[in-house]
Structure 1
């Protein structure tokens, strides 16, 4: 069973990172250590695709198409019970895109993992230490590693796996990507879900409406 987060049951306001903050976060992670190369790839996948942590940790090498710049997520959210009669697979499957910069971090990890004795039968992001090769990463390890990286980067926001998903949604909305594309990338069931998600993270219309208010008239005019 995956380890629950240490803050389970607590609620925090979303604090999406800007694209620039995400690049700073990645840049502070070591390019020399194996764990650093793996963490860079983890951040690149979670931010580059908007995948959830459990989706990311269940990826296998065969899910990645470096040439096409895509990743197949085979373990998305579970389907409603009524849909299982049509398709026995209980999970929603989707194919998402990855931009070239984030794909490069993933490609480097894929090259490195091959030299560590990790094979196609092991998770994409697996352990590699002696006597513990090929085991799935513990979600608590990923959360702690992100927190340490954020501290080194001097980022005051709360940096966590789902926050990287928020950050991609924020960036896509900010750059004018169509809502239906954001929906498919994030694996939302409906556009209404995506609209609520993006409006909460990036309430552009509210901000613009207030900024465009007519200035108050001067007294006596």
Structure 2
């Protein structure tokens, strides 16, 4: 089996059998393609069936000269999945990555915003601008619902259940979940739909998409990043802020105000509670105050 054939089969497996989103699939494929490029540059003529652990160690060693430990670990994880697939597909009898130890990395805590900082970002949005109300609603949904960017741009009118107070979200792995919608965010969505979206151009095929660009088509991931970066800069916040920062802030503020960790896990759509537990470490001061307030021996 040649590399391109193996990569194509792996891509189909990730899409069809594992149901992963396009961006996730592309990330896996890119990891394998980095290995193939390394082999070509160094004139190492070996296919996916015969490549050895030593070949892979050499690749990781060269990689370590240009990328940090976290990136190395992520690429190793992608390669591990690729060779697991080859074993599953009976192309190989073993996974050569299993004998390679991932570099030790500390757990990176996500950046968060305070409520005041989020208010400053929202206040920086000019509502007299044609896209002002849309942009405000986008920011408030990122924070008010804890959505991923892909979940936000794929949100449809038919996913909104205002009477029940929920929105339907299709997250990673095409898994559906229902996210509670607070009254304030719902009110902003209704204003955007009735006073802005309804009056603008709507292109064919995008009638059900909630957030539209000026041409009446679906917004891109890049556009959401641009919106967040623009108003964060205008609010003069000295932080590196991305759309995901609002998701982290949403979870952190819920936990600080007494929300159950399992409930936060369900709302965020985390498959493992371990992923959600990172928020426990975000605010040690708050945890100390909680102990002093509620523990009988405090």
Tell me the TM-score normalised to structure 2 length. Answer: 0.57
1:77 is the counterpart of 2:160: no
Question: Within 2, Cα distance between the matches of 1:199 and 1:147?
Answer: 27
Question: Within 2, Cα distance between the matches of 1:113 and 1:173?
Answer: 34
Residue 46 of structure 1 deviates from its aligned partner by 1.0
1:189 is the counterpart of 2:271: yes
1:154 is the counterpart of 2:236: yes
Count of residues in correspondence between the two structures: 189
Consecutive unaligned residues in structure 2, runs of 5 or more: 1-21, 27-66, 71-107, 293-298
1:117 is the counterpart of 2:201: yes
Residue 22 of structure 1 deviates from its aligned partner by 1.2
**Within 5 A, what are the aligned runs for 1:1-221?**
14-74=110-170, 76-78=171-173, 91-111=174-194, 112-118=196-202, 121-128=207-214, 132-134=215-217, 136-195=218-277, 197-203=278-284
Contact 1:66 1:107 in 2 (8 A): no
Contact 2:165 2:180 in 1 (8 A): yes
Give the direction of change, closer, same or farther, for the CA distance of 1:21–1:42 in structure 2 (3 Å limit): same
Question: Within 2, Cα distance between the matches of 1:94 and 1:142?
Answer: 22
Q: Deviations over 1:18-45 (max 9, x none)?
A: 1222122112212222211111111111
CA RMSD of aligned residues (A): 2.8
Larger radius of gyration: 2
Q: Deviations over 1:141-190 (max 9, x none)?
A: 21122111012112222221111100101100111111111111101113
Residue 206 of structure 1 deviates from its aligned partner by 7.0
Which of the pair is proportionally richer in strand? 1
Give the direction of change, closer, same or farther, for the CA distance of 1:32–1:194 in structure 2 (3 Å limit): same
Question: Within 2, Cα distance between the matches of 1:190 and 1:152?
Answer: 37
Which of the pair is proportionally richer in helix? 2
Structure 1 segments (4+ residues) deviating >6 Å: 9-12
Give the direction of change, closer, same or farther, for the CA distance of 1:157–1:207 in structure 2 (3 Å limit): farther
Tell me the TM-score normalised to structure 1 length. Answer: 0.75
Larger RCO: Structure 1 or Structure 2 (Cα < 8 Å, ≥ 6 residues apart)?
A: 1
Contact 1:29 1:39 in 2 (8 A): yes
